Amino acid sequence: MTATLGLHGATDLPSVIVESYNLEVRDEDGFVGDRASQTAFRKLLDAWRKRRSNRTKSRRLNRENADPLGHIHSADLTKREIDEALQQKRATELTDAVHGAIEEFAGELGDVIKRFSRQKAWKGVERIVIGGGFPESDVGERAILQAAVMLDADAVPIGLARLRHQVDDGGLIGWVHLAPPRMVTDYDAILALDIGGTNVRCGIVKPRHKKAADLSHAKVVKRIKWRHADDNPKQHELIDGLVDMLNEMVKYSERKGIRLAPFIGIGCPGVIRADGSIARGAQNLPGNWERDTFHLPTSLCERIPFINDEPTEALMHNDGVVQGLSELPFMQDVKRWAVLTIGTGLGNASYHNKKPKRAG
């Protein structure tokens, strides 16, 4: 069984046009977007910790102010450990380093936004929704607020907003705006996958179209998360895990009497071709996802050929696009808007709302 729906990675949608996604802007130092990822923040933090530690040693300051986590590399610190450094009443090397990294990262994020806004596909963007795992931390929230202040000071007319949904839900809810209409209106819920470089999320999404025709009441009613980066799976092991997660959701739906559509929405990093293959940008996933013989929608449909006795169909799109579309009902007061997902890498997409069709 193979996926039989329309175009994967579609950009012309009923109420919005996806102007661009996975935008790659280069300068002499490489891809500009790489400077505003969660990975980039950890590198900045590591550099600031080394500076503070060297200063303490050179001045022979009281070692009570030393970095309490000095033996742990910044890449291995948890979000909670970094956030706790901000809550300490007594300043330490780590506390000072976190504040320094936040300020420098905010500047980098502001510069990335300025560079993106000069690109044709981002011209006229009025608001950017910030998603991904980074904003969920206190450190991330402070960095974004500081970037917004910097943009305002530089008279850049772009507002920054947080994702309304939980970050684990946004990349799933967006599928109600991408799935074929009948999958949304004729069934109780759809299945969705959000595949990232660190985590995979799988969930059951209820469109709840009867509550709101614009699907603003769509809701994830069940979700599971796998931090696959900890297990370092090979490609086929990751796909096995995806199938297990989907089957778990199918069984849950059967127990709860939820009538699932025979549909799987797949969000993943990279540029998605119309045939469902990946052109580029999936380097953070295990194995070669860009080879000609790899086609994830078909693989999943072959492994899960039926849902509720109906042939399974699947669509795939860029994960940043999907997460951004979860905000579509709340972006109707602007014409041009965008999303930045700050995770292992920096995902991005820009949108242009279509004019509503006049009745009659």
State pLDDT tens for residues 208-246.
Answer: 999 999 999 999 999 999 999 999 999 999 999 999 999
State pLDDT tens for residues 188-211.
Answer: 999 999 998 889 999 999 999 999
Say whether pTM exceeds 0.75. Answer: yes
In the chain, CATH 3.30.420.40 sits at 166-320
**The pLDDT value given to residue 61:** 52
CA distance 282 to 320: 13
**The pLDDT value given to residue 4:** 44
In this prediction, residues 128-152 reach a mean pLDDT of: 94
Q: How far is CA 10 from the centre of its chain?
A: 18
Q: 26-162 sits in which CATH class? A: alpha beta
Q: What percent of the chain has pLDDT over 90?
A: 78
In this prediction, residues 74-79 reach a mean pLDDT of: 92
Task: Compute the C-alpha angle 359/324/351, nearest 5°.
Answer: 55
User: Which of these ranges, 51-55, 106-110, 258-262, has the smallest mean pLDDT?
Assistant: 51-55
In this prediction, residues 78-100 reach a mean pLDDT of: 89
State pLDDT tens for residues 169-179.
Answer: 999 999 999 99
**The pLDDT value given to residue 3:** 42
What one-character DSSP code corresponds to residue 187?
S
Q: Model confidence at 88, in pLDDT bands (50, 70, 90)?
A: confident
Amino acid identity, residue 138?
Answer: D
Q: Give CATH for domain 166-320.
A: 3.30.420.40
**The pLDDT value given to residue 343:** 86
**The pLDDT value given to residue 344:** 82
In this prediction, residues 324-340 reach a mean pLDDT of: 96
Mean pLDDT, rounded, of the chain: 92
Q: Give the tokens for residue 244.
A: 């297990």
Amino acid identity, residue 171?
Answer: G
What one-character DSSP code corresponds to residue 147?
H
Beta strands in the chain (DSSP E): 16-21, 26-27, 30-31, 127-131, 159-162, 189-195, 200-206, 219-226, 260-268, 271-272, 278-280, 306-307, 310-311, 313-318, 336-342, 346-353
State pLDDT tens for residues 260-276.
Answer: 999 999 999 999 999 99
Q: How far is CA 343 from the centre of its chain?
A: 7
**The pLDDT value given to residue 68:** 81
Segment (H or E) for 68 = none
In this prediction, residues 38-53 reach a mean pLDDT of: 93
Q: Which has more pLDDT, 273 or 52?
A: 273
Q: Is the pLDDT of residue 56 over 90?
A: no
| SS3 category, 12 | strand
